[in-house]
Amino acid sequence: MNTAYLSLGSNIGDRLDMLQEAVRIVMNQEDLHISRISSVYETAPVGFTDQASFLNMVVEVQSNLSAFKILSICLETEQVLGRIREFRWGPRCIDLDILLYNDENMESENLIIPHPRMHERGFVLIPLLELNPNLNHPITGVPFRQYVEEQKEGVHLWKTFDGVDAFVHSEN
């Protein structure tokens, strides 16, 4: 069984509803189980900063699927929910990224694992470490908690849920 961590973010429309819908879609995939979810964090935009704040979270999934199949599910989920890619780091109704897949290091034209900028992103590190505080960067071996101290600015706890079911069934 493989363990992967997915980052989810939204800053257009009903942000929480978008995250919930994305989790529901992923949950309903065959051979993919969401084992845990982080709290939801409200975060300042990175890169292109003239846009609304994001809601971000991380989910832990267990699966026999390959990283490439999980990527396909992430991209299909974005498409179903109406993601339009206008420009890099721009506003988005939903964004799903694979952060980690086991302890693997892989690079292809369409997929890089670990996610190449995750150690620079508090909106990824804080919810990831909430799920697993002992994770190390698969390439450098450096504990992710060493990166997080300088990445906390602009990341604020928004809401905590008591498990996956409570998250997908909560009312806004």
Helices (H) and strands (E) in the chain, counts: 5, 8
Active site residue 95: yes
Q: Taking all residues of the chain, what is their mean pLDDT, rounded to a whole number? A: 90
**Residue 37 in this model has a pLDDT that exceeds 70:** yes
Q: And the tokens for 50? A: 């003239």
Pair 77, 25: CB distance under 8 Å: yes
pLDDT value for 84: 65
**Annotated active-site residue in 14, 17, 97, 162:** 97
Listing DSSP states for 94-156 in one string gives: -EEEEEEETT--EE-SS-EES-TTGGG-HHHHHHHHHH-TT-B-TTT--BHHHHHGGG-TTEE
Q: Minimal CA–CA distance to 139: which of 118, 111, 164?
A: 118
Q: Which of 14, 83, 85, 88 is catalytic?
A: 83
- At residue 100, the pLDDT reads 97
127-163 per-position pLDDT tens digit: 999 999 999 999 999 999 998 877 777 899 999 999 9
Residue 2: name the closest of 30, 33, 46 by CA: 33
| Total-model pTM | 0.93
Catalytic residue among 24, 88, 92, 121: 92
pLDDT-derived band at 93, boundaries 50, 70, 90:
confident
Mean pLDDT of 50-68: 93
> 22: domain CATH number?
3.30.70.560
Q: Is 97 marked active-site? A: yes
Point out the catalytic residue in the list 95, 121, 145, 162.
95
Confidence check: pLDDT of 87 > 60: no
- Split into its structural domains, the chain has a count of 1
Q: What is the extent of the structural domain holding 17?
A: 2-168
Q: Known catalytic residue: 36?
A: no
